[in-house]
Amino acid sequence: MPSDTSDIVWTGDFTQDLKDEITRWTTLLTSAEGFAQSVARRLKLKEVAVYRRDKDGKPHSRVAFELVVDEDMVNLNETMHGGCTVSLIDICSSMALTILAIYLGKPYNFVSQALNTTFHAPAPLGVKIEIVSTTVSFGARTVSAATEIWDATNGRLCMTGAHNKMASSQPKL
């Protein structure tokens, strides 16, 4: 993910320092070594938004990424593998939650509590997908986000996910 933020649509009151911190964090998360990082490295950050929800006035964030479904992401049917889908929902929803935490100046050391996924339609090899994650709740101990994965090439919703996370505690030794 590039450190240049000029091609990202920023909506909300972001200082350059906040943009830099968010970009550093997303770059770190998508460039680290580990499970599914070959896919995460190809995520292209397109949009970051922080806003107040109309119903209750609470702050929320929305983040959007693009990615082309490639060979290392598909199953035998040449559609995006379920494991790849869940991994992308995990990464992108975590980014939405972390961006809101950074924006609010709060800790962001969350761990997954539950991640539910619904498959609506396949995302075939070669299509461009858009992954949109939006925070749902942001409490002191638990946070949650919703994610939609769209086949941007054909204009259809493929997968949705609900991710609940909780504040991590120090390990007991």
pLDDT in tens, 134-149: 999 999 899 999 999 9
- Total number of domains in the chain: 1
Let me know if residue 106 belongs to a domain.
yes
What percent of the chain clears pLDDT 90, i.e. is strictly above it? 72
Let me know if residue 50 belongs to a domain.
yes
173 against 8, higher pLDDT: 8
| Sheet of strand 156-167: strand arrangement | 9-11, 44-52, 59-68, 128-138, 142-151, 156-167, 110-119
CATH of the domain at 65: 3.10.129.10
Range of the domain at 145: 9-167
Q: What's the confidence (pLDDT) of residue 173?
A: 74
Provide the 3-class DSSP secondary structure of residue 158.
strand
Q: How far is CA 153 from CA 37, 54, 68, 76, 109, in A?
A: 24, 31, 10, 21, 35
pLDDT digits (tens, 9 = 90+) for 53-76: 999 999 999 999 999 999 999 999
Let me know if residue 2 belongs to a domain.
no
- How far is the C-alpha of 114 from the C-alpha of 62, rounded, in Å? 20
Let me know if residue 4 belongs to a domain.
no
- Residue 4's pLDDT band (cuts 50, 70, 90): low
pTM of the model: 0.90
